Amino acid sequence: MNGEQTAVSCRGVVKSYITGPTKVMALRGLDLEVRMGELLMLVGPSGCGKTTLISVIAGILDHDEGDCVVFQQDLRALGQGGKTRFRGQNVGFVFQAYNLLPTLTASENVAVPLLILGAGRAKAVARAQEMLVKVGLEDKIRSLPAQLSGGQQQRVAIARALVHEPRLIVCDEPTSALDHETGGRVMEVLRHTALSSDRALIIVTHDNRIFNFADRIARMDDGRITLIESQVASS
């Protein structure tokens, strides 16, 4: 596989936390590659290091040892400001609890990444409205998060993660707060709207009902990847 096809390359990544007198090893020399155009699911028991891994890949957490290269950029070589800019330009986030700003409308929430990157308000909101149409929320553009169902809020969050056209989408338990049917619809939206040949998706999940949407499933345990399964994803 050449470098251009690799979105994320982790080699021997170690990350530990100090909790009081105890040192907790979250990642123990982890290796992982994520390809462009694929949807990779990270699965495993609670506390196995899934969230730590996506935090490192997204440039939110610094790892202690090893290499983590995202789009040919070694994240450890970037300072905090550089990482922040890198995230803003290259990473889209979908959170378990949606994290939509409750006082902003759906379109304003979706416009936030563009505003952070310095886009004008009118342009950002117009682009956000286009994204909301893509995720099927054209009639909820002016709705506040509290006026939306869980599935609708997650679709707003997906639109927000995509609006600035990042090359990596990181999702943390995107369906865990949704019922099976809604979760399935959200995954369909995510797969159809977010996935493209120049973009990679990493989804952390416990929800085995959505495993069939993955191109590959990386199983984690005790800070390591224990198994990577390829499969034909349902689209």
Partner 1 sequence: MYSIALKMLIGDRGKYLGIIMGLTFASLLITQQSAIFTGLMTRTYGFITDTSQPDVWVMDPKVQFVDDIKPLQDTELFRVRGVDGVEWAVPLYKGLLKGRLEDGNFQICNVYGLDDATLVGGPPVMVQGSLNDLRRQDAIIVNDVGANTRLARRPKEPGGRPTPLKVGDTVEINDHRAVVVGICQVTRTFQSQPVIYTTYTRATTFAPRERKLLSFILVKAKEGQDPRALRERIAERTGLAAYTAQEFKDLTYNFFMKNTGIPINFGIAVGLGFLIGTAIAGQTFYNFTLENLRYFGTLKAMGATNGILLRMILLQALMVGAIGYGLGVGGASLFGLAMRGTELAFRLTRELLYISAGAIVIIIVFSAVISIYKVMRLEPAIVFKG
Tokens of 65: 């040892």
Q: What length does the chain have? A: 235
- The residues that bridge with 169 in the sheet, in sequence order, are 92, 201
80-88: Cβ within 8 A, 24+ apart: 83/59, 84/59, 86/59, 87/58, 87/59, 87/60, 88/113, 88/116, 88/117, 88/164
Give CA–CA dist 179/176, Å, rounded: 8
Q: Which of 115, 126, 141, 233 binds partner 1 (CB under 8 A)?
A: 115
Please choose, out of 65-73, 110-118, 185-193, 206-214, the segment that lies near partner 1 by the rule CB under 8 A: 110-118
Q: Which is nearer to partner 1, 91 or 131 (CB)?
A: 91
Using CB under 8 A as the binding rule, whether residue 147 contacts partner 1 is answered as: no
CB nearer partner 1, residue 16 or residue 212: 16
User: DSSP character for 194?
Assistant: I
Select the residue interacting with partner 1 from 7, 30, 39, 93 (CB under 8 A).
93
Beta-bridge partners for 91: 168
Which residues from 17-56 bind partner 1, rule CB under 8 A? Answer: 51, 54-55
Binding test (CB under 8 A) with partner 1, winner from 6, 73, 96, 143: 96
Q: Interface residues with partner 1 (CB under 8 A)?
A: 51, 54-55, 58, 60-61, 81, 84-85, 87-89, 91, 93, 95-97, 99, 101-104, 108, 112-113, 115-117, 121, 172-173
